[in-house]
Amino acid sequence: MLIFGIESSCDETSASVVRNGREVLSNIISSQIKIHEKFGGVVPEVAAREHLNSILPVINEAFDKASVKPDEIDAFSSTVGPGLVGCLLVGLNAAKTLSVVHNKPFIGVNHLNAHVCANFIDTNLVPPFICLLVSGGHTQIIFVKNYDKQEILAQTTDDAVGEVYDKVARLCSIPYPGGILLDKSAQKGNPLVFNFPEAKVKEDEFSFSGLKTAVLREVKKFKPDELPIDDIASSFQKRVADTLIKKLIYFAKKLNVKTLALAGGVAANSELRKRLEMLKEEGYQTYAPNLKYCTDNAAMVASCAYFNPIKSQNSLLLEVFSRD
Ligand code: KG4
Ligand code: ZN
């Protein structure tokens, strides 16, 4: 089964053709980083207009690269939410139009479920497994019982991990996109220089706003040109990875689940991937999507349309939503 996927929930316009949810024939991504750089973050109105400019060339390239004609596609899919409404509308309308024109079903996809499904690409992973979903808007530990049956075991009560990465990067005068650049800086620093606190929270909670404040307090002690950015980044990154992996293992033991996965933009983080990899020595099977399937992309959308579509009587009536 060939599914065409479109992703446009934030600042990436992407289109992809995926066979049977696992084999990617094409995955074209047009990033808006250069455009939002000067604003220091994503401006929703600008992003939506930029999606309009990119969507048709990106769709055409996805067909070309896959050497597939629109008539050969079995279903067209797009992210329905959560995300920026104006941005989502561009992808949703493009996918619905393709489905009507070519008389094939339209499949709506939840963005968070799509991130989880990135783990099915190029692997033989089958549920049950526990997934740590860390993105710009979400931080969750999810028990994936089956392809379409999931339970949230823990989630953040305040900032998402990606959001904190972006905010701490800004405190350290690291430009947008902060997360990936902060990760690079962290790899050059000493993680033991600063002992940032770990939030005391309930079993089913994360909290990262205190950590952000602790970094701010430390940053203020230095003159801007004497700020030990690499050491701050490294110590911050260690605390984040410690906190996330500790809770992941806690639930893995509690539920006696031996298969663990990472998902979302922060799944590209070098320290987090290293820590997950180390769990293999403790008998866990671990999965982390290829870097190009961690941050927003349409291959995960097409995979999700195959494994975990949004169920509805008439999918053409599905509307975009901003929050889950
Ligand atoms: O999943 P994603 O592309 O978009 C959302 O659905 O939110 O995630 C974007 C987030 C941003 O906050 C970005 O800073 C973060 O992922 N990110 C990283 C890394 N690469 C991207 N954070 C830490 N380390 C990275 N290597
Ligand atoms: Zn995302």
pLDDT of residue 36: 87
With a 6 A CB cut-off, is 86 part of the ligand 1 pocket?
no
Angle at 231 (CA atoms; ends 141, 229), nearest 5 degrees: 100
How many other β-carbons are positioned within 10 Å of the β-carbon of residue 36? 19
What per-residue string of b and e applies to 2-17 under the rule 16 or more CB within 10 Å gives b?
A: bbbbbbbbbbbbbbbb
Task: Measure 23 CA to ligand 2 centroid, in angstroms.
Answer: 20
Closest atom of ligand 1 to 179 CA is: 14
Please name the residue whose Cα sits nearest to atom 13 of ligand 1.
Answer: 179
How far apart are the two ends of the chain, measured CA to CA in Å?
A: 29
Q: Say how far apart CA 96 and CA 98 lie, in whole Å.
A: 5
Q: Say how far apart CA 133 and CA 287 lie, in whole Å.
A: 12
Task: Measure 131 CA to ligand 2 centroid, in angstroms.
Answer: 15
Closest atom of ligand 1 to 296 CA is: 3
Q: How confident is the model at residue 77 (pLDDT cuts 50, 70, 90)?
A: very high
**Are 109 and 304 spatial neighbours (Cβ–Cβ below 8 Å)?**
yes
What is the CATH code of the structural domain delimited by 127-289?
A: 3.30.420.40
pLDDT of residue 176: 84
Tokens representing 231 are 């050491």
Tokens representing 114 are 């799509």
Tens-digit pLDDT profile for residues 151-161:
999 999 999 99
Q: Which of 12, 165, 237, 269 to mutate to test the pocket of ligand 1 (most atoms within 8 A of CB)?
A: 165
Q: 74 in helix, strand or coil? A: coil
Closest atom of ligand 1 to 138 CA is: 7
Q: Which of 14, 32, 295, 323 to mutate to test the pocket of ligand 1 (most atoms within 8 A of CB)?
A: 295
Task: Measure 200 CA to ligand 2 centroid, in angstroms.
Answer: 27
CATH fold label, 2-118+294-317: Nucleotidyltransferase; domain 5 (3.30.420)
With a 6 A CB cut-off, is 178 part of the ligand 1 pocket?
yes
Residues belonging to the chain = 324
Task: Measure 179 CA to ligand 2 centroid, in angstroms.
Answer: 13
Say what percent of the chain tops pLDDT 70.
Answer: 100
Residue 203 one-letter amino acid: E
Q: Where are the domains of the chain?
A: 2-118+294-317, 127-289
Tens-digit pLDDT profile for residues 213-266:
999 999 999 999 999 999 999 999 999 999 999 999 999 999 999 999 999 999
3-state helix, strand, coil in the chain (%, to 5): 45, 20, 35
Same topology, domains 2-118+294-317 and 127-289? Answer is: yes
pLDDT of residue 20: 98
Across the strands, what pairs with 134?
Answer: 139
pTM: 0.96
With a 6 A CB cut-off, is 177 part of the ligand 1 pocket?
yes
Q: What is the mean pLDDT of residues 74-90?
A: 98
With a 6 A CB cut-off, is 266 part of the ligand 1 pocket?
yes
Q: How confident is the model at residue 37 (pLDDT cuts 50, 70, 90)?
A: confident
Q: If you search the block for the tokens 């599905």, which residue do you land on?
A: 318
